[in-house]
Structure 1
Amino acid sequence: MTASEIRQQFLDFFASKGHQIVPSAPIVIKNDPTLMFTNAGMNQFKDFFLGNKVPASKRVVDTQKCLRVSGKHNDLEEVGIDTYHHTMFEMLGNWSFGDYFKKEAIAWSWELLTEVYKIPKEKLYVTVFQGDASENLPKDEEAYNFWKQHIAEDRILLGNKKDNFWEMGDTGPCGPCSEIHVDCRPEEEKKLVDGKTLVNADHPQVIEIWNNVFMQFNRLKDRSLEPLPAQHVDTGMGLERLIRVMQNKTSNYDTDLFMGTIHATEGLSGKKYAGTDDKKDVAFRVIADHIRAISFTIADGQLPSNTGAGYVIRRILRRAVRYYFSFLDVKKPLLHDLVPVLAAQFSHVFPELQQQADFVKKVIFEEENNFLRTLDSGIRRIEDFIQNATTKAVDGRTAFELYDTYGFPYDLTSLIASENGFSMDLEGFNAAMKEQKDRSRAATELDMGDWVVLDETPDSIFIGYEQLEGTTKLLKYRTVKAKGKEQFQLVLGQTPFYAESGGQVGDTGTLHFGEEMIHVTDTKKENNLTIHFADKLPAQPTATVKAVVAKEKRRDTERHHSATHLLHAALRKVLGTHVAQKGSLVNAENLRFDFSHFAKVTDEEMAQIEAIVNEKIRQNIPVVIRELPKDEALKLGAMALFGEKYGDTVRVVVMDPAYSVELCGGTHIGSTGELGQFKFVSEGAVAAGVRRVEAVTGAKAEAFVNEQLQQLKAIKAILKSPKEAAKAIETLMQDKASLEKQLEVLELEKVRQLAATLRNQAQQINGVNFLGQVVTVSNAEGLKQLSFQLKNEIPDHVLLFVANVGGKASVALTIDEKLVAEKGWEAPKIIKELVAPLIKGGGGGQKTFATAGGQETDKLQQVIAAVKAMI
């Protein structure tokens, strides 16, 4: 069976058991502050387990794209080294929300594996929770007894809390679990060692294949457990491992799920994959795994960057580049050429990659190119360090600086060091890494208190499409500590406050608990909950609440949101249908819109787009909002955003059916005429293949235009040329350039004359010709020119020229290459240690030439004395 057939058979089996097949959620998490990425199949169903939302179907089945590269579930450093860990993987899962429980889950998993997939029963072991006295949790006798109906009792193993008790996080739903393991070893090995001794022992051929989680409890902040109001089943089976078992392979990477990518990499690298443990074959596995994680995450809307989720993706990409650079001897971008292979392979199950293949390929290519340049400069930096080192060791701080500042991996630093006979200070590197992680954790860590529940109503109702105030009650509240400050979070029974989503910022306003007024500073979503961030907790939490949204701020935000829809359509009309939204920010002040496009938007194109949007505003088109089944909305031509999870019923915003039809949950104006005016403020690049425009509407646009006109008026007044300001400025710039050239010639002549005067004034000190002088020049470049003119005329030189340039101290230090080699003097080091402290400044440069600048112009003679004393 192929990978596609195995996946489909799982879905079909559970559909035959009354399960609804649902699509994978995006791999990028939008409304959960505790997660960056979907790291388990249950993430998209979290609200059902928490009781925040009622599922449309009590039984569902799916295959979910998952990513595990950070936090508790971090497999990154194992990937490629072994045969079964992955960053991105597919989690097959069947789910029961308060419906069936242990009996059916166990029976069906056994039926599927042994009767449908026909895995020999003698290959399988199961584990059951043995209990935990410290938490007063008994052995899971129920699961044990159900398993006895299907498998020999000596193949039912007891597992501890670490292996057989599943928790969503530090708090939340949890419960005992029952794993199914498969022994893939050859028969002769099985005779030598009993398979049950290898279960959960990290044996590469005795692997966990499926986990049945029985959610029975809710973990509170104080670590205590309380029973959930309903019992749920959450199962997960790694598709990659299942395929390996079904195709009788010893490695996940030897299956058809990965071999297409590996064969393509062979063609690109000229190397052959042998499936061994050497670094070359590890590189093939790393690439085959990492290209999936990178591609699917970018397709779901997360671009590589220097922070947060974007940094995780950049780190995965750079790990793949480093492997092909070091071990496949490929020195040019390779990963981007694998995107079409991957897109075609998954087009029937995850079509979003095929639909964006060109865009994803472009982003990856630019990232590879940039990092290959970094690798090149990093290697030069290491070689420079080794060449000038006084001991045969690379200290941990240097290794960490290379990693942190230049993205240069520790193991590559270690490899280059060992090739040159240098040792590595791993302990020092780890200490520096820990310090950084501690700083990062302190800056981002959330300390969430338990909810104080006043009412068990499952979720709050949003009434903010129709009204901006309403009377309601407080359902629950909690205190959260973030970055050392307290936040107060409230959940209401119904709310007019829009929670930040789809680029639109959350509403602000007030909550009135009787006579007490509480300010709402922000509104956000946490899974399906609408969280109101308040400046304090109410004195009387059970009092009736009047919720009032800040109306003007909402209206200005709505204008900018509606403008993004008009803008999106205009961009596609002028630039092409390849344009797709890649991010947006909509608030009361302006709008920011990111979109896929591979070139700068020209001034002519910007003017054309702006004209189209303003024409639509003048037409005063009614903004029609309808709720439709998703399939019907898509047939109407509604644009859906990649990386968004839509329900079966969607909200469709129409601004002329022939112009703009989009799926959108945000709030909008009644007609386009309410925008008044649309004006671009800026255009630029934010990432490879992604452009960003910023614009304003309404009164903000009017203010922006007036400000520009005032500036133009002031310029005309200064130029005394009210009719042709542009021409006057052009003439002024030409005159300026001409004068600067004349001045440059005069300055150079002045430097030549100064050099001639100073040529014979060097003092010989301990075999060194030292020339230290306070000089008069108009800029720092004059010091550099003076130094360069004299360095070839004075042997064994140390030249130090200092000047007061525009009220600031300026210094240039030149050292003969012979003295650098013989005495170990380096200009940047002398600048840093002797010069910079005196002038209260800083500087740097190369070993033979460095410059500095500082505040203390009265210390110039002291600078000369300090360097002279050193000699």
Structure 2
Amino acid sequence: MQTHEIRRRFLDHFVEAGHTEVPSASLILDDPNLLFVNAGMVQFVPYFLGQQTPPFDTATSVQKCVRTLDIENVGVTTRHNTFFQMAGNFSFGDYFKEGAITKAWSLLTGSQDDGGYGFDPERIWVTVYLDDDEALGIWRDVVGVPEERIQRRGMADNYWSMGIPGPCGPCSEIYYDRGPEYGADGGPEADEDRYLEIWNLVFMQNERGEGIGKDDFEILGPLPKKNIDTGMGVERVAFLLQGVDNVYETDLVRPVIAKAEELSGRVYGASDTDDVRFRVIADHARTAAMLIADGVNPGNDGRGYVLRRLLRRIVRSARLLGAEGATMLEFMTVVRDTMAQSYPELASDFSRISTVAVGEETTFLTTLASGSKLFEGAAETVRASGGSTIGGEQAFTLHDTYGFPIDLTLEMASEAGLTVDEEGFRSLMAGQRRRAKEDAQSRKHAHADLSVYKEFVDRGPTEFTGFEELVSEATVLAILDGGVRVPAATAGSSVEVILDRSPLYAESGGQIADLGTITAPGLTAKVDDVQKIAKTVWVHKVTIGEGQLTEGDTVVASVDPQWRKGATQGHSGTHMVHAALREVLGPNAVQAGSLNRPGYLRFDFSWQGQLAESQKQEIEAVANEAIAENYAVNTFETDLDKAKKMGAMALFGENYGDRVRVVEIGGPFSMELCGGTHVATSAQIGQVTLLGEQSVGSGVRRVEAYVGLDAYRHLAKERALLAGLSSSLKVPAEEIPARVESLVDRLRVAEKALDAERAKAVLSAAGTFADKAERVGDVRLVAEAAPSGVSAADLRTLVGDIRGRMGADAAVVVLLGDADGKVPFVAATNRAAQDLGVSAGDLVREFAPLVGGRGGGKADMAQGAGSDPTGIPQALGVVRDRVAEIAG
């Protein structure tokens, strides 16, 4: 049975049982504890917590999930995956244990002809919580599972919670016996490779308190309602029904491995080491494609860092398998072809997905090239010192600072006849992971208590009147002070106010909230911010200037008209810039985020590489030409599918309802899904002036611009600046660039001449230093403070020249400078001194700490820098003592 069919049968089974089918949420949700959605129940958390009333009593979904805590184990075992699909059915105060158990059993064991999965009931085992006699009795007496195939387990295995205060409860897990060839007899307690968990039924009936771990917390008491949350692993069911050994051999994953075989020339199953690499590619390619589809871009922290790491592990695994050149597009294509039936966005948005993935591959291939040079330097240093092992710290620096994988370090070391201190490297990596885990745990906290808003979420959405008017009469539904509902608030108070209707725009879609007032006879209150709760309830954050605001009051809510005018210009200007970007750069330049406020906008978009100046000028020109056309701005509501067929652009990673609002400017020029406020015609935007363009992450660029009067003011300043330069340089404005270029060229020539004179002066001092060399045993030693102001580069030249003037005698030269509080230093020895046992590198390592610095190098020359000039005399003393000790 194909995986797509397994998904479909699950949803059909529960829809026929009266459940509402709910689409998978984005992998990115606004949850402070989650980088990515990692379980099927995550989008339903507000219902389980009682913060919102669910619009249905029962639901079913197949949720896409990503878990990356065990990323290092992916490929090493066949049990770990970063991306997986969790099929679930949910009850919010409707059926409980018996309903969950019997519905799961009927789907698992029902015949395939009747829409079931057709599992042999004699091979199914179940576990229940230690004291859950009710669940055990249902399995035994209602379903008919023999008691010898029901096992009781403790909290660590059969008691579920989110890991933070909130709903929790015992669970019952369903296992399938794969047969004696996969492990020992004795049920799940004996061997969880043979007895494979395929479904977990969670009976949410209690509330947990503070604590850590899976079993170190207090159970506070029962929940108001008993809920059901189940999760069936689609991939696990797939490999059982497809008769293969693990998920990597199923219909949606094995094709990626086949492509890797084709590109590398190696065969899956021939080598354990290669098999790990094949599995890493197959797993990570799926995960990366799904993350990019939901709006994640490679970066250096958070979600972006996870994606970057996944993509780079694909690249390095392909390289270690022997694949030459770029491979990412091939893997992304296979993922699209296998997964698009369930996730059509992989096909419709493939151009952007592949562009982001290939861009990261290109960047990393460059990193590998530079990392190889760094490795060669480290290897040369090891050989020069007579060693054969690259230190764990060096390997860790290559990995952590330069992104050079340890796998390649080990491979290249072996080719160079060297080894790597793997134990030291692993220890440093373990320390890094421990610190990261501790940091993540310190930032993990309970879900914000939004229950105070539940009444108003259940009541229905705030009526937003701001599309039609800037002043609305409204009723005060509630006043909240510090999260607590209060009957009234007086002058000087800062409170939250919920109205039944409001013209003030609540921050969303990149547009910041309106400013305005709430007034009534004897009352004035300034609205500082407006935020949404559950995307439906407007919460006005206000400061009361005079009078008293009381729940139930009739008030007038007003938008600052100048603020709204600027806000509409900024938001409509954002749409124009987006359309201009796509016209100039092509369809791959799609939105990756935006922010607009009165007079200003910034727009992030997917793109590889810096924009040329000509491209920026063309984008600005296209946007302003469209503005000058005075296009009508039309808004209308329609079905989501119809809007997409019309070509309306949507923000990636955003969840939209069945009905959406479309903003159309100039017919086909710009059409986007948007809930923001806009001008009536494009000419009202005024003007768009691009301020600049920069990178904000791998594959993501950002443009910033002023609009309207702010654009005019910016250009006026630029014009004044240009006039000032024209006057100072005594040339017309159009000749300023040529004049500046000429001045820069003359400055470069002067600087080179100055550098030459300075070097000449420095070298002239070499003879003086050589003549002053002191005799220490058999060594001629120069250990002095360098001339004031000598740069590190000149210092190296000077030391080398002094050493050359010392003839065949054993010679050691050490100079320490003092340049603007920095202490550059260089040490050099000739062959005769080295034969006596004097090493420049060793000397530097001994005295560098005395000047607050570090340094290193080879036996003939070493250098470094410090920050404490007061230590120079002591450092020179150490040099003399050390040379005297070696030279006798």
TM-score when normalising by structure 2: 0.82
User: What residue is the counterpart of 1:213 in the other structure?
Assistant: 202
Matched-pair contact (CA < 8 Å) for 2:530–2:538: no
Are 1:43 and 2:42 matched, yes or no?
Answer: yes
Matched-pair contact (CA < 8 Å) for 1:798–1:813: no
RMSD: 4.2
- Larger CA deviation: 710-719 vs 364-373: 364-373
1:302-313 paired onto structure 2 within 5 Å:
302-313=296-307
1:652-682 per-residue CA deviation (whole Å, 9 max, x = no partner) reads 1222322211112334344434432211011
Deviation for aligned residue 1:582: 1.9
1:631-670 paired onto structure 2 within 5 Å:
631-670=641-680
- How has the CA–CA distance of structure 1 residues 700 and 829 changed in structure 2, closer, same or farther, with 3 Å as cutoff? farther
Tell me, in whole angstroms, the C-alpha distance in 2 between the residues paired with 1:489 and 1:178: 46
Deviation for aligned residue 1:833: 2.8
User: What residue is the counterpart of 1:204 in the other structure?
Assistant: 193
Deviation for aligned residue 1:793: 4.3
1:43-91 per-residue CA deviation (whole Å, 9 max, x = no partner) reads 223334344555555444332210011xxxx332332222222111111
Tell me, in whole angstroms, the C-alpha distance in 1 between the residues paired with 2:278 and 2:365: 19
User: What residue is the counterpart of 1:27 in the other structure?
Assistant: 27
Matched-pair contact (CA < 8 Å) for 2:461–2:536: no
Are 1:193 and 2:185 matched, yes or no?
Answer: yes
Q: 1:852 aligns with which of 865, 878, 887?
A: 865
The SS at the match of 2:23 is: coil
Tell me, in whole angstroms, the C-alpha distance in 1 between the residues paired with 2:655 and 2:821: 58
Deviation for aligned residue 1:126: 2.1
Deviation for aligned residue 1:16: 3.3
Q: Which amino acid aligns with 1:315?
A: R
Matched-pair contact (CA < 8 Å) for 1:590–1:695: yes
User: What residue is the counterpart of 1:286 in the other structure?
Assistant: 280
Tell me, in whole angstroms, the C-alpha distance in 2 between the residues paired with 1:393 and 1:810: 32
- Larger CA deviation: 13-22 vs 411-420: 411-420
Matched-pair contact (CA < 8 Å) for 1:363–1:689: yes
User: What residue is the counterpart of 1:351 in the other structure?
Assistant: 344
Deviation for aligned residue 1:866: 5.5
Tell me, in whole angstroms, the C-alpha distance in 2 between the residues paired with 1:24 and 1:752: 72
1:425-440 paired onto structure 2 within 5 Å:
425=424, 430-431=430-431, 433-435=433-435, 437-439=437-439
Deviation for aligned residue 1:435: 4.0
Are 1:703 and 2:713 matched, yes or no?
Answer: yes
Tell me, in whole angstroms, the C-alpha distance in 2 between the residues paired with 1:534 and 1:283: 57
Deviation for aligned residue 1:346: 1.1
Q: 2:617 aligns with which of 566, 590, 607?
A: 607
Deviation for aligned residue 1:365: 1.3
User: What residue is the counterpart of 1:267 in the other structure?
Assistant: 262
Tell me, in whole angstroms, the C-alpha distance in 1 between the residues paired with 2:273 and 2:536: 45
Q: Which amino acid aligns with 2:799?
A: S
Tell me, in whole angstroms, the C-alpha distance in 1 between the residues paired with 2:523 and 2:842: 70
Tell me, in whole angstroms, the C-alpha distance in 2 between the residues paired with 1:232 and 1:87: 28
1:385-784 paired onto structure 2 within 5 Å:
404-407=400-403, 420=419, 422=421, 424-425=423-424, 430-431=430-431, 433-435=433-435, 437-439=437-439, 441-442=441-442, 444-446=443-445, 450=449, 453=452, 456-458=455-457, 461-463=461-463, 466=466, 471-474=475-478, 492=498, 500-505=507-512, 523=531, 543=551, 556-588=566-598, 590-723=600-733, 724-771=735-782, 772-775=784-787, 779-784=791-796
Tell me, in whole angstroms, the C-alpha distance in 2 between the residues paired with 1:446 and 1:728: 60
1:681-737 per-residue CA deviation (whole Å, 9 max, x = no partner) reads 111333444332111212332332223223222322321324432232122123223
Matched-pair contact (CA < 8 Å) for 2:692–2:703: yes
The SS at the match of 1:458 is: helix
User: What residue is the counterpart of 2:154 in the other structure?
Assistant: 160
- Larger CA deviation: 731-740 vs 615-624: 615-624
Matched-pair contact (CA < 8 Å) for 1:506–1:522: yes
Q: Which amino acid aligns with 1:775?
A: P
Deviation for aligned residue 1:831: 8.6
Tell me, in whole angstroms, the C-alpha distance in 2 between the residues paired with 1:374 and 1:533: 52
User: What residue is the counterpart of 2:488 in the other structure?
Assistant: none
Tell me, in whole angstroms, the C-alpha distance in 2 between the residues paired with 1:684 and 1:55: 43
Deviation for aligned residue 1:307: 1.1
Tell me, in whole angstroms, the C-alpha distance in 2 between the residues paired with 1:669 and 1:703: 20
Q: Which amino acid aligns with 2:740?
A: I
Q: 1:341 aligns with which of 324, 331, 334?
A: 334
The SS at the match of 1:195 is: coil
Tell me, in whole angstroms, the C-alpha distance in 2 between the residues paired with 1:338 and 1:404: 26
1:224-373 paired onto structure 2 within 5 Å:
224-225=219-220, 227-274=222-269, 278-321=272-315, 323-324=317-318, 328=321, 334-354=327-347, 355-356=349-350, 357-370=353-366, 372-373=368-369
User: What residue is the counterpart of 1:136 in the other structure?
Assistant: none
Q: 1:181 aligns with which of 175, 178, 185?
A: 175
Q: Which amino acid aligns with 1:728?
A: R
Matched-pair contact (CA < 8 Å) for 1:477–1:491: no
User: What residue is the counterpart of 1:126 in the other structure?
Assistant: 126
Q: Which amino acid aligns with 1:37?
A: F
Matched-pair contact (CA < 8 Å) for 1:184–1:250: no
Matched-pair contact (CA < 8 Å) for 2:58–2:91: yes
User: What residue is the counterpart of 1:141 in the other structure?
Assistant: 134
The percent identity for this pair of structures is 34
Tell me, in whole angstroms, the C-alpha distance in 2 between the residues paired with 1:122 and 1:366: 52
- How has the CA–CA distance of structure 1 residues 385 and 319 changed in structure 2, closer, same or farther, with 3 Å as cutoff? farther
- How has the CA–CA distance of structure 1 residues 280 and 94 changed in structure 2, closer, same or farther, with 3 Å as cutoff? same
1:793-823 per-residue CA deviation (whole Å, 9 max, x = no partner) reads 4465443445565x55553413237567934
Tell me, in whole angstroms, the C-alpha distance in 2 between the residues paired with 1:635 and 1:422: 58
1:313-347 per-residue CA deviation (whole Å, 9 max, x = no partner) reads 23333444555555x35585544531111111112
Are 1:799 and 2:803 matched, yes or no?
Answer: no
Matched-pair contact (CA < 8 Å) for 2:395–2:409: yes
TM-score when normalising by structure 1: 0.83
Q: Which amino acid aligns with 1:580?
A: V
- How has the CA–CA distance of structure 1 residues 732 and 388 changed in structure 2, closer, same or farther, with 3 Å as cutoff? closer
Deviation for aligned residue 1:437: 4.2
Q: Which amino acid aligns with 1:782?
A: D
User: What residue is the counterpart of 1:785 in the other structure?
Assistant: 797
Tell me, in whole angstroms, the C-alpha distance in 1 between the residues paired with 2:538 and 2:208: 22
Number of residue pairs aligned between Structure 1 and Structure 2: 836
Matched-pair contact (CA < 8 Å) for 1:521–1:535: no
Tell me, in whole angstroms, the C-alpha distance in 2 between the residues paired with 1:552 and 1:780: 58
Q: Which amino acid aligns with 1:240?
A: E
Matched-pair contact (CA < 8 Å) for 2:763–2:798: yes
Are 1:61 and 2:50 matched, yes or no?
Answer: no
1:64-75 paired onto structure 2 within 5 Å:
64-69=63-68, 74-75=69-70
Q: 1:816 aligns with which of 829, 833, 837?
A: 829
- How has the CA–CA distance of structure 1 residues 106 and 384 changed in structure 2, closer, same or farther, with 3 Å as cutoff? farther
- Larger CA deviation: 661-670 vs 289-298: 661-670
- How has the CA–CA distance of structure 1 residues 599 and 142 changed in structure 2, closer, same or farther, with 3 Å as cutoff? closer
Tell me, in whole angstroms, the C-alpha distance in 1 between the residues paired with 2:449 and 2:193: 40
- Larger CA deviation: 782-791 vs 451-460: 451-460
Tell me, in whole angstroms, the C-alpha distance in 2 between the residues paired with 1:584 and 1:421: 46
Tell me, in whole angstroms, the C-alpha distance in 2 between the residues paired with 1:36 and 1:384: 41
Deviation for aligned residue 1:533: 7.8
Q: Which amino acid aligns with 1:195?
A: G
Deviation for aligned residue 1:240: 1.0
1:812-869 per-residue CA deviation (whole Å, 9 max, x = no partner) reads 41323756793454279449735633xxxx565644232437585x886676556445
1:720-775 per-residue CA deviation (whole Å, 9 max, x = no partner) reads 32443223212212322333343344344434433345444433334443323532
